[in-house]
Amino acid sequence: MAAPQLTPSLLHTDATLPTLILGPSLGTSSLHLWGPAVPYLKEHFQLIAWDLPGHGESKASTEPFSMSELASSVITMVEALKTDRIIDDAQKLYYAGVSIGGATALQLAHDHPGTFAALAPICTAAKIGTPEGWNERAELVSTAGTPTMVVGSAQRWFAPGFIEKNPIVSTELLHNLQDADRFSYAHACGALAGYDLREELGNIKDPILAINGAQDQVCPPADAEFVAEHAPNAQAAVIDAVAHLAPAEDPVATAALLVDFFTAH
């Protein structure tokens, strides 16, 4: 295993503002996932997103990686952005991520405490699914490619009626999935198969806001509540009209929760 190389997307640069690092969900590019929320966040934060290996702007991974290695790659990316003077050492850093990007939020808080002033895991959990389920999916996608995931993902990702009302946003996200590198997608599934922070939440001291969608069948609101109950500085919030991709489905509500929480820290 090895820490993958992540490519940042500079969604909004302004060195006078605190920096918010934005994490992706499995199968999406951060540009299309977070793009709808940018207008509601950019007055408050410099916005820098990252893509999973083989997704969006990031190169494909050549070998498996763990969630800890993925978190380390985020730290490496941030340090490189500091070296390039895109992030100032004096700036406050915040983090928000969706699904696997949200699991990365909890992993960052666990492995690299204090790096971020506050973090928001979105549409995620301290453990997602089962190792067997993720390993089966990894094998299927490695063999047959990411298009095998499109129909199931369309059902899981979006609340009922969203695709019909928002055809451009939903189509772009499903195209991201179709275009993702199948082996990198499988490596991310492998990382999730080995991910379980339920017993470690008590050791996570960073301020956490766990946000889940009321319509999410993958990570229901109970998963956010579990984080809030077991991590000492965590709280939970639910967005009613959202399933698994909150920033794309309800960018206004997602941004409002993030702005309120981060500006309080």
The predicted pLDDT at position 155 comes to 86
Q: What are the Cα distances from residue 202, in Å, to 196, 227, 233, 234?
A: 13, 9, 9, 10
Q: What are the Cα distances from residue 106, in Å, to 94, 206, 258?
A: 13, 9, 16
**Residue 89's pLDDT band (cuts 50, 70, 90):** confident
The predicted pLDDT at position 90 comes to 85
The predicted pLDDT at position 98 comes to 98
Q: Would strands 208-213 and 118-122 be described as parallel, antiparallel, or unpaired?
A: parallel
pTM of the predicted structure, to 2 decimals? 0.96
Residue 1 clears pLDDT 80, i.e. is over it: no
Share of the chain above pLDDT 70, in %: 100
The predicted pLDDT at position 164 comes to 93
| Residue 82: CATH number of its domain | 3.40.50.1820
Average pLDDT, the chain: 94
Q: Report how far residue 121's alpha carbon sits from residue 139's, in angstroms, rounded to the nearest whole number.
A: 27
Q: Report how far residue 212's alpha carbon sits from residue 210's, in angstroms, rounded to the nearest whole number.
A: 7
The predicted pLDDT at position 8 comes to 93
74 within domain boundaries:
yes
Residue 230 clears pLDDT 80, i.e. is over it: yes
**Residue 265's pLDDT band (cuts 50, 70, 90):** very high
The predicted pLDDT at position 37 comes to 97
Residue for token digits 């993030």? 258
Mean pLDDT value across residues 57-70:
93
155 within domain boundaries:
yes
Q: Report how far residue 239's alpha carbon sits from residue 79's, in angstroms, rounded to the nearest whole number.
A: 33
Q: Which residue has the higher pLDDT, 90 or 188?
A: 188
**Residue 186's pLDDT band (cuts 50, 70, 90):** very high
Residue 245 clears pLDDT 90, i.e. is over it: yes
1 within domain boundaries:
no
2 within domain boundaries:
no
Task: Write a three-state SS string for 122-178.
Answer: ECCCCCCCCHHHHHHHHHHHHHHCHHHHHHHHHHHHCCCCHHHHCHHHHHHHHHHHH
Q: Please tell me the least confidently modeled range out of 62-66, 86-90, 99-103, 248-252.
A: 86-90
167 within domain boundaries:
yes
Residue 6 clears pLDDT 80, i.e. is over it: yes
Share of the chain above pLDDT 90, in %: 84
259 within domain boundaries:
yes
The predicted pLDDT at position 150 comes to 80
Total domains in the fold of the chain: 1
Mean pLDDT value across residues 75-90:
93
Domain interval for residue 88: 8-263
